[in-house]
Amino acid sequence: MASNEGKHVMLSYNHKSKNVVKAVFDTLKAENIPVWFDERDMDANMYDGMAAAVNNAAVVCCFMSPEYEKSRNCKRELEHAERLAKPIIPCMMTDRKVWKPSSSKWLALITGSMIAIDFSDASTENVVAKTRVIIDQIRKELPTRTAQSVTLFEPIRQKYLQQNRIKRMVNEEKSFPIEQNYINLAMVETKEQHEKEKNLKRQGDENAGLEQRQDAIRGTYEEIYGVKTSIDVTEIFEKCKNPTKKVLVLGRAGIGKSTFCQYVTYRWAKGELWSQYELVVLIHL
């Protein structure tokens, strides 16, 4: 479920500020404020989800530092937020006596007229206190609809968070953390896939029942799909050519389709995946 309105708080930062920003993230989550935070090194990697994160943001908090000002990705991110007229809450990671955004560079042009929240003191007490200031400003900006949806969908989110372990197939009394699960997806061309399935069906025993023919198709998965391109879970929708963003996950019994669904809903509930969506629904058939 998604809409054109902003639905989360985006934390824009350079990886050297990660520890402080992670503490802010944890506090916002504890306050049931929807928040987008990517733990990867954004200064080294430009990834497809960045634009979507800005597009779906109700508020953007930028954590300013010399490294942030030098980062091309941070520059793209904040300039995109400004173009979309997203409310920006600047946070200063260094003492102004030591460094402040240069008046001749891009960061000062965006945040120069704003009052930055001082995070130069990285002590726990100061980070907690300044995060409360951020929360006060966020609550003024977040749409009422967002707060209502968070309350409405919170029981679903909590249920997904409880499903944090995978049972072993041989002994269901034993389990392992879902974070240790490995998901490997591959994209296939739909048209070619359908042609191969049709050919395989023609080659099958026409006298066999429907269930037997379907088992034969699933059992020859590699033959149907041939060479595949691996894709990360976080990019599954970005790779869709169809604007409706439909993805069909196929695989033989026991290959991990149900585990995949449990894995993505768990990561969504933690705010690590698809935060642009207010609700992710897992339907057990």
- Digits of tens for pLDDT over the chain (285 positions)? 333 355 789 999 999 999 999 999 999 988 888 888 886 544 344 555 677 788 888 899 999 999 999 999 999 999 999 999 999 999 999 999 999 999 999 999 999 999 999 999 999 999 999 999 999 998 887 655 455 555 567 788 888 888 888 877 677 677 888 877 666 666 565 555 566 666 666 665 555 555 665 555 555 545 554 556 677 777 777 767 777 778 888 777 877 888 888 888 988 888 778 876 778 999 887
Domain with CATH 3.40.50.10140 in the chain: 8-142
Residues 6+ apart with CB under 8 A from 190: none
Decide: 264 and 273 in contact? Cβ < 8 Å: yes
8-142, CATH topology level: Rossmann fold (3.40.50)
Q: pTM to 2 decimals?
A: 0.53
pLDDT tens, 19-75?
Answer: 999 999 999 988 888 888 886 544 344 555 677 788 888 899 999 999 999 999 999
In angstroms, the Cα distances linking 198 to 141, 195, 244, 266 are 54, 5, 25, 36
pLDDT at position 69 is 97
Q: What pLDDT does 284 receive?
A: 82
CA 202 to chain centre: 42
User: Which distant-in-sequence residues (6+ apart) come within 8 Å of 133 by Cβ?
Assistant: 117
pLDDT of residue 277: 77
State how far the Cα of 264 lies from the Cα of 282, in Å rounded to an integer: 10
CA distances from 250 to 22, 181, 186, 187, 254 (A): 36, 18, 10, 11, 11
